Structures are given as structure tokens and as C-alpha cells.
Amino acid sequence: QKEDHGQSALVAHDDRKDHFIERNGVRCAGTHLIIDLFGAKRLDDLKHIKETLKRCVDVAGATLLHIHLHHFTPNGGVSGVAVLAESHISIHSWPEADYAALDVFMCGDADPHATIEVLNAAFKPERTVVKEHLRANTMHERTWEIAASKKAPVRLAKTKRAA
């Protein structure tokens, strides 16, 4: 695949999609999900993985900038990332173990939790484990005051899921 080197997303400053959020009174840079799929299927199917990542981006309300996937061998695992205006979705799969590790990190108005249902439908795991981390939620108040300036506005999260 062709790499994108040094390309910038053309997003107007007022339309930035990577803003900080406040969710249930907690200020943070975004939500990072660590997702483990056990007993999963189609983890060596490059086209299926690419289409699944695109569906994840769509249901989360995120903005896709680029997808890069690497297939290790014709029957091997896949490693890759969907780069988003709101951050990223990454995957690394071990089809021989029916296991995939995914990171879904999104800020702004995107809803990373919406990706879980898509991943479960696409890979049909026997078990899914999700861990959530609110990024930069431990920043002390003065740092947040600086981050909340016009350069990095803080907005209330519009996600469907409550924490």
C-alpha cells in the first residue's frame, strides 16, 4: 500500500474534530478502549478487516483520514491502523490463536463504544473484553484551563453511552 507521508488533513480551525471533552463531569482528551477478541474469526482476511474498520469509523461518527494494513503472510495475521481526525483504531491479529487486539481511541464527538457491536458482528468472537481509559483525565485544573483556551476547546461529550 502507498504510505501517506507529511500529508495534512484539511480541517478548518473552527471545525476541529479532535477537541477535548467533558463526560459526566470528567474532563478528558478522549476515550481509549482496549478491546480483546477471543475465539474470533476472519482475522486473516485483509479485505474484511479493512471494511470492518470503515464500518467502525462510520458508526462512531468519526472522520477517516487513512487506513494502512499489513498482511504478514497469505494466511497470517494483520496489523494496521485507521487514522482518524479524532485519533485512531488499530488492530493486530493472530489468526492461529483466534485472537485480535484492538485499540480504539477517539476524542471530540466520536463514540468509540459504538465500534464494539461492529467488531463483534464482523469477527464473531466467543468472548470480548473491553477496558476503558479516559485520556488525560488526571490533568490538574490549571493545565485544563490552558487546554480549554480557544486553541483546544472543551465540549460536552455527545456520545450515546454514559460512563
Place of cell 483556551: 149
R_g of the chain computed on alpha carbons: 17
State phi, psi for 11 to the nearest 5 degrees.
-125, 125
Q: Which parts of 77-157 fold into alpha helices (H)? A: 114-123, 141-147
Q: Which parts of 42-95 fold into alpha helices (H)? A: 46-60
Report the DSSP beta bridge partners of residue 28: 21
Active site residues: 87, 92, 107
Whole-number Å distance between alpha carbons of 57 and 34: 16
Q: Are 53 and 120 in contact (CB under 8 A)?
A: no
